[in-house]
């Protein structure tokens, strides 16, 4: 690039010298003697000067000066402002106008669809079914704790779930419940109900789904009972119980009951239809049928009631029940009625007026005596059941060595069916006294008994020795097949 700048400059200087050649040749550069100077000029200090000139002698210009070469300086840079670096030591303060975004923890979210169910008009005797879907659209597991139906008994609604509550739905999982409507009323009247679902959704712990439907007459002859079966449960010999069912004309024409019959083991069962066989049952009309069960001996019934009509149709229902001997009288006047559930009481409040021996199958040593206070309960079952009985120390002041047993007679140790004294620490929910997880917990007793229909005596008791005495306990009775 330098030669491109110098070459034009040299050319310009040469042209200037050619145009002023006499001046360029006037003097030689420098002088040593006066002979080297032209005209009247003399050589002074190596320069030709005019001696007649006033003031300081001016050096003659160099007769052959070196041509000035333009300075090949770099071109001036463009004025570009450098960006300012941000000050890393002073962070910008947050914008106070923007709200803080909270951190949201994962939660279960319940979704139920549809939000309501309208079955519309359904013929009497027909069954209409709809699906009710429950889904977890949240980010954590959803526990469904309860699914219940709220409706009058004769409304005709029914809810069924493929899983018993409680059950859990993982995120994205769904479950279909079945809701059916079989109208028990005629005349076009609307009936309503509601399905209630409870869960651990923190924002919607309870969801209600309204139900409605309407029963209409079925074309042609139709008859129905408001129950397909009836169970009298357990009845003591010598007692008498009654039940009533309704017969409904669900068709569009009048009906007449021409007769009825009972088949199967039906000892001590009577059926009363009143004037039903002497009257016409108009469309939409209903009439009662009375069932009476008065057993005179132990046993069970499993009968079928059949109704015949003037039209070619039949209506049937199943009737069951059982009879057992009356519960033996207990000589103690402090027997308490017992229902399934949880009961808290203090054994110190009850007197032990006789010695209870733990008969085989015994608790601890055969023939051992339980000398502490006790409480006797009577549990009445109307059908066979598997029963869980759990008795444990609930006193924070004293230690209680519990024992529980089941008898058919409260004061007859020979009627003892089962007994429980201690349980393994691994199965106990009491920490005290179970420092060794492989040890035995004396403060809790538990047994499972398969009991027939009838009356049973549950005796909650405790051993008194050393530092163990009577005190507050908790008794839990659970029917495992419910």
In the CATH scheme, what is the code of domain 336-479?
2.60.120.380
Q: State residue 117 phi and psi, 5-degree precision.
A: -130, 125
Q: Are 457 and 425 in contact (CB under 8 A)?
A: no
- Report the C-alpha gap between 126 and 214 in whole angstroms: 12
CATH 1.10.3720.10 for domain 110-216, yes or no, is: no
Which token pair is 380?
């009445």
The string of DSSP letters for 410-457 reads TT-GGGEEEEE--EEGGG-S--TT-SSTTSEETTEEEEEEEE-SEEEE
Tens-digit pLDDT profile for the chain (482 aa)?
444 444 455 454 444 444 444 444 444 457 777 777 777 777 877 788 777 664 444 454 444 444 554 554 555 555 545 555 555 556 566 565 656 666 678 999 999 999 999 999 888 778 899 999 999 999 999 999 999 999 887 788 999 999 888 899 999 999 999 999 988 655 567 889 999 999 999 999 999 999 999 888 778 888 888 788 898 887 878 888 889 998 888 888 888 888 888 988 777 888 888 777 777 888 878 889 999 998 888 888 899 999 998 888 889 999 998 887 766 667 767 788 888 899 988 888 655 444 455 544 556 444 444 555 788 899 988 888 899 999 999 988 889 888 898 988 887 777 888 888 889 998 998 988 888 878 899 999 999 999 888 888 998 888 877 888 888 899 999 998 76
Nearest to 418 by CA among 380, 442, 446, 443: 446
Q: CATH for 223-324?
A: 2.60.40.10
Q: Where in the chain is the domain with CATH 2.60.120.380?
A: 336-479
Within the chain, all domains assigned CATH 2.60.40.10 are found at 110-216, 223-324
CA dihedral 325, 328, 334, 338 (to 10 degrees): -30
Can you give the pTM of this predicted structure?
0.45
């Amino acid at each position: 690039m330098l030669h491109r700048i110098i070459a034009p400059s040299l050319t310009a200087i040469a042209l200037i010298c050619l145009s002023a050649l006499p001046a360029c040749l006037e003097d030689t550069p420098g002088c040593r003697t006066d002979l080297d100077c032209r005209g009247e000029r003399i050589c002074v200090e190596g320069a030709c000067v005019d001696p007649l000139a006033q003031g300081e002698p001016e050096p003659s210009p160099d007769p052959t000066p070196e041509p000035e070469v333009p300075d090949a300086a770099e071109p001036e840079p463009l004025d570009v402002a450098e960006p300012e670096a941000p000050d890393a030591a002073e962070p910008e303060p947050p914008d106070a106008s923007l709200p803080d975004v909270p951190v949201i923890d994962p939660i279960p979210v319940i979704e139920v669809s549809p939000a309501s169910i309208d079955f519309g008009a359904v013929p009497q005797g027909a069954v209409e079914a709809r699906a009710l879907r429950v889904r977890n659209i949240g980010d954590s597991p959803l526990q469904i704790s309860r699914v219940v139906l709220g409706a009058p008994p004769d409304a005709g609604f029914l809810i069924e779930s493929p899983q018993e509550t409680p059950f859990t739905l993982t995120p994205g999982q769904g479950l279909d419940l079945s809701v059916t409507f079989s109208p028990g009323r005629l005349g076009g009247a609307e009936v309503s109900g509601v399905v209630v679902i409870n869960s651990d959704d923190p924002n919607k712990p309870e969801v209600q789904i309204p139900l409605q439907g309407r029963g209409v007459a079925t074309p042609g002859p139709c008859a129905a009972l408001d129950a397909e079966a009836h169970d009298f449960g357990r009845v003591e010999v010598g007692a008498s119980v009654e039940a009533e069912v309704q017969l409904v004309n669900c068709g569009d024409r009048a009906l007449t009951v021409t007769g009825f019959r009972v088949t199967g083991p039906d000892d001590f069962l009577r059926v009363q239809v009143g004037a039903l066989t002497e009257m016409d049952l108009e469309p939409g009309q209903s009439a009662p049928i009375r069932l009476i069960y008065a057993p005179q001996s132990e046993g069970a019934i499993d009968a079928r009631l059949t109704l015949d009509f003037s039209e070619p149709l039949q209506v049937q229902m199943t009737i069951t029940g059982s009879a057992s001997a009356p519960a033996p009288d207990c000589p103690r006047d402090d027997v308490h009625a017992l229902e399934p559930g949880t009961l808290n009481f203090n054994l110190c409040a009850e007197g032990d007026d006789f010695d209870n021996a733990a008969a085989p199958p015994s608790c601890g040593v055969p023939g051992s005596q339980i000398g502490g206070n006790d409480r006797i309960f009577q549990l009445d079952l109307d059908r066979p059941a598997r029963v869980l009985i759990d008795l444990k120390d609930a006193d924070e002041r004293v230690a209680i060595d519990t024992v529980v047993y089941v008898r058919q007679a409260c004061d007859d140790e020979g009627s003892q069916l089962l007994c429980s004294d201690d349980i393994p620490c691994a199965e106990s929910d009491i920490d005290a006294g179970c420092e060794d997880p492989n040890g035995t917990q004396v403060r809790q007793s538990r047994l499972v008994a398969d009991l027939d229909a009838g009356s049973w005596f549950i005796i909650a008791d405790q051993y008194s020795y050393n530092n163990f005495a009577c005190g507050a306990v908790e008794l839990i009775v659970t029917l495992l097949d419910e």
